[in-house]
Structure formats: structure tokens, C-alpha cells
Chain A
């Protein structure tokens, strides 16, 4: 296969290629493995690669489609590190719910992709296994925390990938690498087998080359799972069915808070142009206000670390993962956790522990949960009158590796994405142009469980853009 074709190859083209006999599932997988072997040492998108020959590949909707999986999702028999030294040699014992579904649909797996430790970060610089480089410019980050998945798709080292999104971890790297990233509604996709970071915010979703593939993967990933009691029973729909339905007279809200200070002026211009294009497609746009937007990041940096401190308490050097034997149990805990966790994990565990500790709970954690209510209500109010909300995915294009040394400066990279997780809404980032050769992402936010609408708008924007 020609080098350029890998970067373009979509799920639909794989289906056609296998059907017409252009390649078999095994041949295609081998071609990808060869390319990964050659290019991954520079890119560091994959942490592990699966070279075993295919045995059984069911004839489902994803028959023979080679995928990359973020390394915080369990795949039985394979190493799952979550980007952390504490799980460096941990072997998964079971498949995550999403992996079982993908297997049943006939997908194949190329390997596990790099991420910030336990998905905590916006650049993969917090990975214990080195940074992932941006395929558009190797001196820049691929974004994070699903940076490995975004880079693998953008560089043509996978047809599509899975990521997880707690505060922007699918959408931000998708924007930085120029691919499509979808965070489904909280509860749409089972989290069973995803290594938990912040359980009330985490959601698994696809990173793909186009919107159609995103819809196709969502078809397979969706559905209530008895193993995840927060997953929601929703009617089964085909997300690809209505992608071409016209968006004439669709009501589009543009929050003024998403275009304030901090937004790069050229990114702003690029996103504004994309919004005008939606108007040309017949959508009606109007400026609105989400008055509590400015408080989202602060609320997020209390709620998320609180949940992190609780979820990461299970890593104790006793049952699995890195163990540093101490004189007694407490020594073992202290030694194992201090040796196994990186700086950002320690920072967030301590921040969360502080916010939950006696005397500070009301002032920090409880107050943040109340602000979460205000942020959710802001969205509810706008969605009474509008079908979708649009704006930039990130305030800037991909930044340089090593550029953001202060943790708070790094946190600001997620300023437009975190409120979506706090409100549990679906959102997609799609490429909408470039600034100085670097991709810009347009974020479309929908009502709860209205993935169909954001996918439809995204698809039609994508079609006119490529014309």
C-alpha cells in the first residue's frame, strides 16, 4: 500500500478493500505492523504492539479493521500500564466491555497507545514512558491525555483508535493532531475495564479520520452494561443513518465566553470561519452566554482530584502492580506509592485528599459540586432554545514539548472542554483548518444523548469543507 493511503484509510475503505479482495484482514494488519515498526520509534504513539497472527475474526461491522487502544483500557492477556510506572508490568486479566464489543464486531487490535499517567494531563508529557510527538510537527506535543491514540490515527499507524475523556482527553489531542474525536454522553458507553481516573467524568470514545467512522464506532461501543451501573439504557440507533439529513434551520448557539481572552486570535478567526460555513449550510447561529463558564476549570480541579485520590488508593503494593517491600504494611504502602506514581499523579492525589479532608470538605469539594450544578444549568438553559453549541476545542494549536512547565498553565489547555464533562454532555472535535501548518479543532456540543445531532452537523461541515 502507498504511504499516503495509510493516513487516509477509513473503516469504510477497509470494508470495501476486504470485500473486493484487495487485501485480507491479516495482510492489512501486517502492513500496519510494518509501518508501526518503522515509524513508532520516532513518534512514540504505541507503548506495546501485538504481533501475534490473527486467529478468529468474526464477520461483524468492523471485520478486519485494525484499531489502536489507549493503554488505560484492559485487553485480556496484554500489558496495561495506564502510562504509569506502578503498572509497568501489569497484565490485564479481562477484556473491558468496549473491547468485548469490538472483538464481537470483528475488529483487530494493533497495540496499546501512550497517555499521560492515569490519563492525567494534556500533552502525554506525564507518561512514565516518554512523550508522544505530534505527527504534524515532531517538536510539538500530540496533546493529551489520549495523545498516543490521536497521533497513531493522524500518522496512519491505525485506522481508528479508542481514547478516554475526563476533561478533554479525546477532543484536545484530536484537535492538536487534526483528527475527529468524540466524547459520548456520560453513561452512553460502559466504563467497565477502563482504569478509573475520575469516575463521575470519565467516558470512552473514538478517535477517527472522519465523522462517518466516529458514528460507526459509536454504534458498536454504545449500550447499557450490567457491569457499569452508571451506563444508561437508551434506544439503539444507527448513528450513521441520518448523517446526510439537512441541517437547514438548525439552531446553533455560540457562547461569547468561549471567545474571550486567552483564545489565540488566529484560532479564533479559523473557528469563526467554520461557524460561517455552518450558516451557509442553513443553520441559524446566535451568540449566547454560559455565565458560569469561567468557574468550570476551578470546579473541575477540585472534583476531579477528589475522585482521583479515591480511585488511586487501590494501588498499594499489596495485590498487584509495583511493590516495594517495607518493614510493615504502612511502610509498604508508602514505599510502593512513592516509587510508583509520577509527579502529576502525586499532585492530584494530594490536592484531592486535601479537598476531601475534615475541615475543608465544605469549602472545597461540596462548593465545587454546587458550582457543577450551576454549570449544568447554564447548558440546560441554552439547550431549551438551541440544538447545538459550537466553539473552539482548544485556546491554541499544539504547543512545544517542554513549553508548559507550570501545572496551572497546562490545566488551562482544557478551558473549553472541562465544562462538557462536568455537565455530562456529548461533544465532538473536528478539524476546521490550520494556523501556521498546525490543525485547529471545532467543538460541537449536544444535548444529553443527542450524539446523532452533533455527528450530523459535523459530517455535513466535513463534506462541504473537503469540496
Chain B
């Protein structure tokens, strides 16, 4: 039997972020193929109680590093603790979320372990007992498959791509506390403060539905019609870089290569042309709707459904029609 598949999970304020369930579920799938178990690592302050929940998604064991030093995320503290935790196991596969936390943490682990890292993967598989990792490159113009020449094989998973297993409440994970080999005085970079987002109410990277606006919105005040549609659907409002650069929206709401990568169930692009850098951030969305007055706009090539027309007519009408079924 091969060694367990290890996963690093992420929690915020004592609750797992959804991406943690995605990573655990994918680890379960790979572990089943390899005939092995799943071990999850959880770091935080006062989080011992939530570890068990990961069992429902396929974790056999949860190692918890519970310490007040982890009140806020600490890259150094997390890195040292995880390295210490896996030191004696020498796992073959370690998975992380490609969230902002994971994108920071993963390369640090890789450097210390002197191994390769496949970041922001969209598909994983097992080929002859080894991990094959698929990820986009060149802003999504190319999809590449990677093999590892080093162990552990380290991969981060793009959020909202990997399906979450149906939680099975009869399954409980064994929870074990692990030690934290760092103290506050060891840390050279410290989070002093956490400011609330300037962006919309729901962060776009967490939203199941995103209504996005581009230069075609013509002004900050017009985003009201997108907010109405998003509110109705319980979604968030995103923006293209043009809209952000024009100061119509906060940078926290930008979708694309320079902004956030999102993969909601539904992405509605309004007055967005579909430049490659924008597509890089949203083309893995499950369903894409484009509303644009230019029938040749490249966004239509990526859209499942398109309406050619003036967004100032189409969007309010769409809100009106959807109201009939939502209410």
C-alpha cells in the first residue's frame, strides 16, 4: 500500500473554507485509486473541534495544529509546522488549495523540500502510480500535463473546479493534535491588522454566481443594475480590468490574470469583450453567459449562451424575468 495522500486544509475564523472540502474530496478520489488513506492537516487557533468534519468528505485522519499564534495566517509559522508534521512520514502526494493562502504556502513547502510544485491545477490523475497534474499556462492559451521527478509530489488545486463529495455524516475522522514548533518571536513577518474588503459584500472567489461588468458599463453608477441581478441570485459582482482601472469597481472585484481566478456555477459577462487575460480568470466557470452588443466580441466564443444586445436593456429585463421564478 502506498503512503497516505496528505492535504493541507484552510479555515477562516474557525470554519473550513469550501475549497478545503474540494481538496479533501479530490485526495479521497486519488487515495481510492492508490488504495491508501487520506490525512488532512488543519492549522488555526481554537480549531480542534472542527477537524472531525473532514471525515464526512473522506479524510481518515486529521492532524490539528491548534495554537493562538495562528489567530491570523502566518506563512512562516504554517510552513515550519507543516514541514515538521510530515517530516517523518515522507508522503508521496501533498495537495493544497490554490487559494491566496495556498499560493503563498505551496512554493515555500516546495523550496524546503527541494521538490517541484504544480500550481493551480485543474485536473489530477494517477498514471502508473504517479501523479499527473494538468494546469493552464500562458493565460489559458495552453493546457499542460506535468510529471514529477521529485517526491513528495506537490500540487495546488484551483478553487471551485474539483467536485465536493456528498458529505457522509456517518464517517468520522480520527483527530490528533500535533505540536507547533514556532513561537511568535520566531516570526519575521506578522499580520498586524485585517481590513475588511473594499469590494462587494460576497467575495467573488467564494461566490457561486458572478455578474461581471466591463467597459461597456460606461460608469460606476451603472453597476447598480448588476448588483440588483446579483442580489436576486445571491451572487457577487465582478469586473474586468478596464472597469477597475476606471475606478468603477475595487480591485478586489477584478476577474482575470491580474485579478482573481473564479469558477462559479454561473458567470454573466456584461459589456466585457473577452480579452485573453479576462478569460484566464473565468473560463473554467461551469456556465458562461455573455451580453454584448458586438456580435463579434470574443467572449461569445467562450460563452454557453450569448445575447447580442444593449446590456442596459437586456440586464434589467433578465432581472425582471428571473424574479418571476426566484420569488
Indicate, yes or no, whether A interacts with B. Answer: no
- List chain B positions with a Cβ less than 8 A from chain A: none
